[in-house]
Amino acid sequence: MMKPSSRLAVLLIAHGSRRPEANVEVEHLAVQLQQQGGFWCVQPAFLELAEPTIEAGADRCVAQQATAVILLPYFLSPGRHVADDLRRACDRLQQRYPQVPFVLAPPLGQHPAIADILLQHAQQAARSLDVPIDSLCTPG
């Protein structure tokens, strides 16, 4: 775990939704990352459709005296939003705050834990069907 004294901030960026409960989920995740990660601050932000925006979230990190900011995409793949929109946002923030390094982390993508999480979700759904997992997809 990192020392909070390093003043490294995380800007957890999700797409944003018109459904408030979806955005609240991101806010809760930011709190968990703050508690478990030892970062100076973890700020949720949204690409569109919700507040705070990426710029407003970065402003909050800098206002809390972060010395560096990681833009952490809460996206699965390196599609247009990550490759283009978040890259441009990172560049804009770096120009806006030249004294604070900004770096864009990779999306969740091919992380090995993703397959485990999906498998757990599929198994949970299978249990709701009350069907043994091994009988669901038996090769013919």
| 68 backbone dihedrals φ, ψ, rounded to 5° | -160, 150
Please give the tally of structural domains in the chain: 2
- Residues 57 and 45 sit within 8 Å (Cβ to Cβ): yes
Residues 91 and 132 in one domain: no
Residue 84 domain boundaries: 4-109
Beta-carbon count within 10 A of 12 CB: 23
Residue 8 CA, distance from chain mean position: 16
Return averaged pLDDT per consecutive 10 residues of the chain, 140 residues in all: 70 96 96 94 97 98 97 91 92 97 92 91 87 58
Are residues 14 and 83 both part of a single domain? yes
We report the CATH number of the domain holding residue 79 as: 3.40.50.1400
Q: Residue 82: its pLDDT value, please? A: 87
